[in-house]
Amino acid sequence: MVYIRQDKLPKLKEYKYSGVDHSLVSRYVLKPFYTNVVIRCFPMSMAPNLITLTGFSFVVINFLTMLWYTPGLDQDCPPWVYASWSIGLFLYQTFDAVDGTQARRTHQSGPLGELFDHGVDACNTTLEVLLFAATMNMGQSWKTVLTLFASLLTFYVQTWDEYHTHTLTLGIISGPVEGILTLCAVYAITAVKGGGSFWQQSMLQTIGVKNNGLIPEAVYNLGWDEWYMAYGGIVLVFNTIQSAQNVQQARRARGQRARVALLGLLPFFVAWTLVPIYLALQPMIRQCHLVPFVFYVGLVNAYSVGQMIVAHLTKSRFPFGNVLILPLAYGVVDSMGPFLQRHVGHPLGLDWLGWPSALGDGVYQVAFVFLCLGLAVGVYGSFVVDVILAICDYLDIWCLTIKHPYVEPEEKEKKVQ
């Protein structure tokens, strides 16, 4: 399958990066640290994309230790494990931020860098959801599913915003900056406190607030993880509204219809209408096999985001289609039949209502989830490989190494003479 048409390739040469970062932490703390200290650790011969991939390898190592110590996301790990997660995520953030500086100083900036960067960030988002759930001892629960929804929506909306405004905008509080630093702090505190069970305690009681009857018991007993999710929900709503406003303002300025752009959110919400329905109809998947299902849903989102980035780079129409949603839709339809028979048809005497399940609710349902995951890996993998090869061939560059090192004009003249 061809993901970039030949007539769209010339648009790649018109690419010019545009980004705005309103974060005070980024402006006064992180950027000086990156430009004055970190960038000196990388040689001029190192490709920016290789820096990005190296940073992502730290997160992959973190994920492997999670699978070893707490595959069910509900057990306390040795303190050094949480500390390694904090260090690994901070290194990922650092490498991910420095790759742009490396691209500029080696004169390797281009559309491939943005595509590669967003693709790695999309995969990292899913992995960090699982690591965070394991840190909080959320287990294979609806809390983990809700955390996944919020994280993927944040990333999707940010990419949707960039497609329409042609500018990557990070607010005063954003996921790539404050969000990652918050996670690093959570991992570090967990290491000090000795395990994720610390976050299941009542936050108000832990910090010494006494309940004199003024605070409802349900609110007073909320754990740290639940307060964190409430905080994340507020930030999510704020950032989503802000992105929607940015998109509508940009389209109005270009004389385009503003509200039509909101249709670009449909692919995400269609998928996330199916996700909770499927998990509700198949509680065994949520309770025992949530990790592979989370991977599958994460790749569905990564594929949509990747298509948006390609459309942005080639100035193509917004991509509404996502073939990876179809297996999930089939799973919902297959599981809905027995539910209708059991809860609607039989009680009302409507024996014709509903249909038998082809997968059942046992081992075949588990196999179906892993089949969906394998399909997602294959489709997204072919997308990534095809797009990278197409861009590299057209621009005459390499992905992980520098094919044409930049030479100063004076040095060129000396070589010619």
Catalytic residue status for 118: yes
Structural domain boundaries in the chain: 6-395
Distance of CA 11 to CAs 14, 15, 316, 385, Å?
5, 7, 9, 20
Q: Degrees (nearest 5) of the Cα angle 272, 277, 282?
A: 125
For residue 137, give both structure tokens.
Answer: 């001892």
pLDDT tens string, the chain, 417 residues long: the values are 678 888 888 998 888 888 888 888 888 888 899 988 999 999 988 999 999 999 999 999 999 999 999 999 989 999 999 999 999 999 999 999 998 889 888 888 889 988 999 999 999 999 999 999 999 999 999 999 999 999 999 999 999 999 999 888 877 777 788 889 989 999 999 999 888 888 888 888 888 888 777 788 888 888 888 888 888 888 888 888 888 888 999 889 888 888 888 999 999 999 999 999 999 999 999 999 999 999 999 999 999 999 999 999 999 999 998 999 999 999 999 999 888 888 777 666 666 677 888 888 889 999 999 999 999 999 999 999 999 999 999 999 999 998 888 776 665 555 555
pLDDT digits (tens, 9 = 90+) for 198-209: 888 888 888 888
Residue 202: strand, helix, or coil: strand
Q: How many CB atoms lie within 10 A of CB 174?
A: 20
Q: How many CB atoms lie within 10 A of CB 76?
A: 18
pTM for this predicted structure: 0.92
Residue 134: strand, helix, or coil: helix
Dump strand ranges (E) for 103-262.
168-170
| Cβ neighbourhood burial of 212 (10 Å; 0-12, 13-18, 19+) | exposed
pLDDT digits (tens, 9 = 90+) for 254-294: 888 888 889 999 999 999 999 999 999 999 999 999 999 99
pLDDT of residue 349: 66
Q: Degrees (nearest 5) of the Cα angle 90, 91, 92?
A: 90
CATH code for the structural domain at 6-395:
1.20.120.1760
Q: Which of 118, 166, 289, 404 is catalytic?
A: 118
- Which runs of consecutive H residues, i.e. helices, occur in 282-396? 283-288, 290-314, 325-340, 346-348, 363-395
Candidates 266, 296, 251; CA nearest to 123 is: 296
pLDDT of residue 48: 93
**Is the sign of the CA dihedral 331, 336, 337, 342 positive or negative?**
positive
Question: Which residues are within 8 A (CB) of 230 and not within 5 positions of it... i.e. 6 or more apart?
Answer: 222
